[in-house]
Amino acid sequence: MEVGNESAGQVIEPQPVSPALLELNGHWLMVLERDLRSAWPNEGCALLLGEPGRVHWVWPCLNAWQPGAHQAQELSRRNRFSIDPAELVTAQRWCRDRHWQLLGAAHSHPTGPVMPSAEDLNWGWSGALMLIRGYAPLAWGAWSLQGEQGRLQAQSLRLQLTGDGHLGK
């Protein structure tokens, strides 16, 4: 059975729908804040695990970015991040055991805005969530990436905190 809307005998594939809101327990926001801040002045990173539109777990990661042989000197972990592929596979397996998904990633922009950069868009995939912590100015940005690989667009999400924000609650 084909999925989509039929119009004059053609199947039109449904477009992915961006959630308007991202739910995150205050506990996980505090864990994420501490993890990302501990990487400063470099970019910190973590994976977001859960169900569409709702983060159930934050998986802190080490920034594994390494410069290529021909990359400019100004590129560094201060303005780039990468997550080890083995870490991604481990997190995906862990999610599968809980019937969750790898929703996307969180990372910090130590000197930039909370908007996804061109590099961030290259890293992501359609439907991925991206949570960015900026330090200049101090702010959070939540985004849903939509489109085709190589031409992703970031759509702003409203971040809704759940729980009381205390560790262990």
> What number of other Cβ atoms are within 10 A of residue 102's Cβ?
20
Dig out the tokens for 20 from the structure. Answer: 């308007």
pTM comes to 0.78
Cα separation of 72 and 61, whole Å? 25
Q: Environment class of residue 151 by beta-carbon count within 10 Å: exposed (0-12), middle (13-18) or buried (19+)?
A: exposed
- The C-alpha atoms of residue 140 and residue 159 are separated, in whole angstroms, by 9
Instruction: Give the chain's domains with CATH numbers.
Output: 24-65+77-162 (3.40.140.10)
- Tens digit of each residue's pLDDT (9 = 90 or more) over 71-97: 655 667 667 788 898 999 999 999 999
pLDDT attached to residue 2:
33
Instruction: Name the average pLDDT for the chain.
Output: 79
